[in-house]
Each structure stands twice: as C-alpha cells, then as structure tokens.
A = this chain, B = another copy of it.
Amino acid sequence: MAVTLADVAARAGVSSATVSRVLNGNYPVAGSTRERVQRAVDDLDYVVNGQARALAAATSDLVGVLVNDVADPFFGLIASAVQAEISDGSAPGGGKLAVVCNTGGSPEAELTYLTLLERQRAAGVVITGGAIEGAGHGAAVAARLARLAESGTRIVLCGRPPLDPPATAIPVATVAFDNLGGARRLTEHLLSLGHRRIGYVAGPADRTTTRHRLEGHRAALAAHGLPSGGPDVERLTVHGSYDRSSGYDAALELLRREPSLTAIVAANDTVALGVCAAVRDRGFSIPGDISVAGFDDLPFSVDATPALTTVRIPLQEAGARAGRLVMGRQAPPPCGLATIRTELMVRASTARPRGGTA
C-alpha cells in the first residue's frame, strides 16, 4: 500500500494535521517541526493522494479542454496554450492538469464529456471551437454549463460565440474570434484584386464558425454591390467538413458548376490545401488561373506553394487568455466577452485574375 499522511506523521512524531499544514503551507508551523516533517516526507517518498485531498477540500486539480480533435493544429494550438497556462505551478491556484476531450464535433460527445467533467468536479472547463447550432443543442449545453457553474466550475468559451440570451445569466467568459470581420476583409481583398466570380467552400452547415465566415464573405459581396444571396450565389457555395479531402471535392464541384471561376475561398487552411490540390489537378495554376485563400493561418500555410493568403487568428494568445480566465488569474472582459481580432495575411496564392479589371 502507498504511504499515507498518517505514516509521515508517525515518522515525524507529529499529528497528521500538522503534516497537512506543512504540505499546504497555508498555516503557521514551527520551523523545526516543518523540517522534521519535510525529512519524513522525503524519507518515505510520500506523494499526497490528490483524490482524498480533493474530496476533503472540495477542490480539483483538473481543467477540462473540449476540442474537436487535438490532432487538428487549430485545436492543438489552442489546447497547447491552455495547458501551458494552467499548469504554471508558480501562479496562484496554479498547477492544474488539462483533461483534453476530443468531441469530434459531435453534440452528444460534447454533453457526455461535460458530464464526465462534472463527475470529476473539474475546477474549470474550456470549450473551444465553433458551436453546433440547432436542435436544442445550445440549450442542452447551457443547462449542463449552468450546473457546472453552480458547483463552482469556471467556464470559458474559446473560439465560439457567447451563450444564447436565455443562458446569459450563467457566468461564462468568452474569447470569441472575429470570424465575420476576417472573412469580410478576405473577400474584400479578392474583390479589390478584380475577382467577381468567387467560389466559396464552406464548413459544415450547422456550425457558428461556418456561418459567420460565410456571412462575412457575403457581406463583402454585398458591399461591392454584388448579389450576396439567391441561387446564383448559392451555386458558388459548397458545404463540406473541415478537412482536406472535403476541400478537394468541393473545389472540383465548384469548377464543374462554374468553369469561369477566378477565385476560391476556403473555410479554413486545411480545406484550402485540398482546394489547391484539386485546382492544380485540373490543370490550373495558382494564382495565375485561380486564386485560393484560406482561414486561420495555421503554421503550414506559409509553406504551402504558393504561400497561402489567409486570415490569421492568434490561436496561441487566445488559448493562453482562455487559460488565464479559467484559472481566475485574469479579470473577465467587460460583459464577459472579448473578441479576438483577426488579420488578413496576403501571400502568394491570390493575385489579379487574368484580364482582371481592377
């Protein structure tokens, strides 16, 4: 059996309460006693039982981090930053462990993990990535979050819009991304280059991220006096998942529907790579024949050829901020909402269309 507090106490010739006090350093203990206890701890290689401590003190060393998939750099970068921030033992309340949960974008998995984290009485939960819309899922999540919040779990949303109005009473800090603004600026960039027939490869239809980026794209079209709705615009929009092969397929479909396309905007960088591959496989050059743009500015984007024009989201900083918020180490932003700016990164994958008029 593992050595317990009582063992240490016996060896040091003190009560277990004293050992506890030495270990937690939150109560005055005589120097000599402290030393004796410390020695006993070392001699016995004692390691506290976190579960017993958590139970007795009603605290937890765990922080949940919900992601679609840590293998996706978008989420990996956020998760990494959160982890780094919460594990900083030198900070107050620091030294928490990150429980990373891959939801795969499934609403059920999201709820299941929230229950599991409630079970562990997690100190905090960071939910990353766009929210799934519709079918009462938002309400279901809100209900779970309400329970968590009530039991003292700090909740932070990162890369997802705030909870819907009926749930605004729940104390949740939100680090949102300006997806709409970024998407608008990206399409404005293409329009200003002279592109008029722009294909759009959107993400899954039921995600807030997908919707906001698409809205930004269309807002830019509208601002330039172009149709931003109707069958003609729908025809130039294809939905798919947020992965490379989806981008490949979508690009082929777009080129089939509209061979005179001069530019394609992808839902994110990963999709954009698939688009690039398809465009090239069809014999077009980038950006000579067709410009391609992505979103997120993941690390590999600069190494794509041509280097990808995209919209940078400071994922690392956002994750770090979410980490600080969930630790209560940073004051929540006004109204609990901080919107992270996005930045247009113009690189080599976009250029004027052949015979462009800009």
Contacts and interface: CB of A to CB of B under 8 A. Distances in A.
Interface string A113-138: 00111111100000000000000000
A128 to B, nearest CB: 12
Interface in A309-335: 316
A264 to B, nearest CB: 16
Interface string A69-106: 11111001101110110010100000101111110000
Interface stretch (A50-58, A176-184, A203-211): A50-58
A39 B51 CA distance: 29
Number of copies: 2
Nearest to A152: B2
B100 A100 contact: yes
A14 interface: no
A303 interface: yes
A305 interface: yes
B79 A120 contact: no
Nearest to A300: B300
Interface residues of A, number: 55
Contacts of A61: 116, 119-120
A61 B89 CA distance: 23
Contacts of A73: 71, 73, 76
Residue of A70, A72, A95 with most chain B CB atoms under a 10 A cut-off: A70
A48 interface: yes
B47 A119 contact: yes
A277 interface: yes
A49 interface: yes
- Which 6 A/B pairs are nearest by Cβ-Cβ distance? A305-B305, A71-B80, A300-B300, A76-B76, A100-B100, A50-B119
28 contacts: A47-B147, A51-B54, A51-B120, A52-B55, A55-B55, A61-B120, A62-B62, A62-B97, A62-B99, A70-B76, A70-B80, A70-B83, A71-B79, A71-B81, A73-B73, A76-B76, A89-B112, A97-B99, A97-B101, A97-B116, A98-B100, A244-B303, A273-B300, A273-B303, A300-B303, A304-B304, A304-B305, A305-B305
